[in-house]
Amino acid sequence: MASRVDTHFWFLLGVAAFFTTLIAGLIVYFMVKYRRRSDDEVPGIVHGSLALEAGWSIIPFLITLVVFFWGASIYVTLARPPDDATQVNVVGRQWMWKVQHMDGRREINELHVAVGRPVRLVLTSEDVIHSFFIPAFRVKMDAVPGIYTQLWFEPTKVGTYHLFCAEYCGTLHAGMIGRIVVMEPDEFQRWLSGPAPGAAAGLPVALAGEQVFQEQGCGSCHRADAARAPNLAGLFGSTVRLADGSTVTADAAYVRESILRPAAKVVANYEPIMPTYQGILSEESVMQLIEYVKTLGAPAGGQP
C-alpha cells in the first residue's frame, strides 16, 4: 500500500504547491499592476464575473471530490485485510510490543514475516493507548485497552524496517521501538520452526487457549450437557440472543467482554452467575481463549 499512499500524498502536495504559488503570484502581480500611483487617484468600478466566481468555486470542489474518493478507496483497502492474511496477535504495554504467531512463536519488539504474504495484526493494550507504526509500510494503528483493533500489510521487499510507538505512552515512550524483519518464504519457515535468538517457542495459540480453558475450570460449566452456561460449540460468528431480548454477533469483542465482564451481556435463559476474570487473565490469555473458541465448530447460526 505504500506506493498508493505516497501517490496520494504527492498529489495533495502538488495541488497545495500549485495553488499556493498561483495565489501568491497573483497577489504580487495585482499589488504592482493596480497600485495607487498618486494621492488623488480614484479607483475604477470593478464589475463582477459570474464565470470567474463559478470557476473558483467549481474547480476546487471537483478537486476535493477527487481527493475524498481517492483517499476513501485507500482507507477501505487498508481497513479490510485479505481473507488469506496470516494473523499475528500483538499486545502493547509500557514499554514493549509482545508478539505471538498463531503457531505459538513469541517475540518482543520484533516481528518476523515472509515477503509477499499479507499479514493481519490483531492489536490491544494492557495499560495505556499505544500506536503500532511501521513508517516504511505506511501503516499505523492504535492499540487500545479493552478493545481489539487491526491493521494489515503485505511486505514486498526483504529487509529490516523500523517499528515505533507513535502515541505518547509514558516516560519511556521514546524507547518503545522495534523492528520488522521481512524474510524469504523458505527462510521464514525455517525461522518459524527452529530456534531463534530473541524469540520463544510455545503452544499454538488455540492449544494454549484450550489449556487456559481447562486450567480455569471453564469446562465445568460450558459443557454440551451443562445447563448452567451456554455451550460454546459453534458459538463464534453466530447470533446470540440476550436476556433483554436483543441480539449480538459472537465476535472477538463479544467473547472478550463475556470473559472479563460477563454480566454486561447475559445470554437469554441463563443466570448471570459467571465470575469475572478481569485481573486474573492476561491479554495474551484472553486472545488465546478467543482463538480456542473459534475452533469449537463452525458458526451454527441462531442461539448456541
Per-residue model confidence (pLDDT) at position 193: 81
Statement to judge: residues 278 and 213 lie in one domain: yes
Are 104 and 187 in a shared domain? yes
Per-residue confidence at 44, pLDDT binned at 50, 70, 90? confident
Domain count, the chain: 2
DSSP characters over the chain: -HHHHHHHHHHHHHHHHHHHHHHHHHHHHHHHHT---STT--PPPPPP-HHHHHHHHHHHHHHHHHHHHHHHHHHHHHHS--TTPEEEEEEEETTEEEEEETTS-EEESEEEEETT--EEEEEEESSS-EEEEEGGGTEEEEE-BTS-EEEEE---S-EEEEEEE-S--STTGGG-EEEEEEE-HHHHHHHHHS--TTEE----HHHHHHHHHHHTTGGGTSSTT-SSS---TT-TTSEEEBTTS-EEE--HHHHHHHHH-TTSSPBTTS-S-PPP-TTTS-HHHHHHHHHHHHTSSS---S--
Look at residues 173, 200, 227 and tell me which one is the last residue of a structural domain: 200
Residues 192 and 211 in one domain: no
304 lies in some domain:
no
State mean pLDDT over 93-109: 91
- 148, 93: one domain: yes
Sorting pLDDT into bands at 50, 70 and 90, what band is 1?
confident
Q: Are residues 213 and 140 in the same domain?
A: no
What pLDDT does residue 262 have?
87
What confidence score (pLDDT) does residue 196 get? 62
Rounded CA-CA distance 13/253 in Å is 39
Query: Is the domain of 113 the same as that of 163?
Result: yes
Q: What is the pLDDT of residue 47?
A: 81
User: Of 221, 218, 193, 129, which Cα lies nearest the Cα of 167?
Assistant: 129
Q: Between these two residues, 37 and 182, which has the higher pLDDT value?
A: 182
Interval 195-221 mean pLDDT: 79
Q: What is the mean pLDDT of residues 256-277?
A: 87
* Structural domain span for residue 218: 205-294
In a domain, 182, yes or no: yes
Residues 175 and 221 in one domain: no
Is the bond preceding residue 95 a cis peptide, omega within 30 degrees? Answer: yes
What's the CATH code of the domain at 106? 2.60.40.420
- The whole-number average pLDDT for the span 117-135 is 94
Name the pLDDT band for 300 (thresholds 50, 70, 90).
Answer: very low
* pLDDT band at residue 229 under the 50/70/90 scheme: confident
Same domain? 115 vs 189 = yes
User: What was the pLDDT predicted at 302?
Assistant: 43
277 and 240: one domain? yes
The answer, yes or no, to whether residue 301 has pLDDT greater than 80, is no
Cβ of 263: how many Cβ atoms within 10 Å?
Answer: 12
CATH code where residue 222 lies: 1.10.760.10
Which of the listed residues 165, 200, 235 is the one where a domain comes to its end?
A: 200
- For 274, list phi and psi in degrees, rounded to 5: -70, 130
Query: Is 39 part of a structural domain of the chain?
Result: no
Give mean pLDDT, residues 75-104: 92
Residues 91 and 181 in one domain: yes
Residues 127 and 188 in one domain: yes
Grid cell, residue 84, equals: 488469506
- Say whether both 107 and 190 belong to one domain: yes
**7 vs 49, more confident:** 7
What sign does the dihedral 114-120-122-125 (CA atoms) show?
A: positive
pLDDT above 70 for 298: no
Q: What is the per-residue pLDDT for 201?
A: 63
Domain-located, residue 244: yes
What backbone torsions phi and psi does residue 156 show, to the nearest 5 degrees? Answer: -115, -5
The model's pLDDT over 79-92, given as tens digits with 9 standing for 90+, comes to 999 989 999 999 99
Q: Is the pTM of this model over 0.85?
A: no
Q: How confident is the model at residue 120 (pLDDT cuts 50, 70, 90)?
A: very high
Which of 200, 226, 242 is the last residue before a domain boundary? 200
Residue 266 in contact with residue 204, Cβ under 8 Å?
A: no
Distance CA 231, CA 140 (A): 38
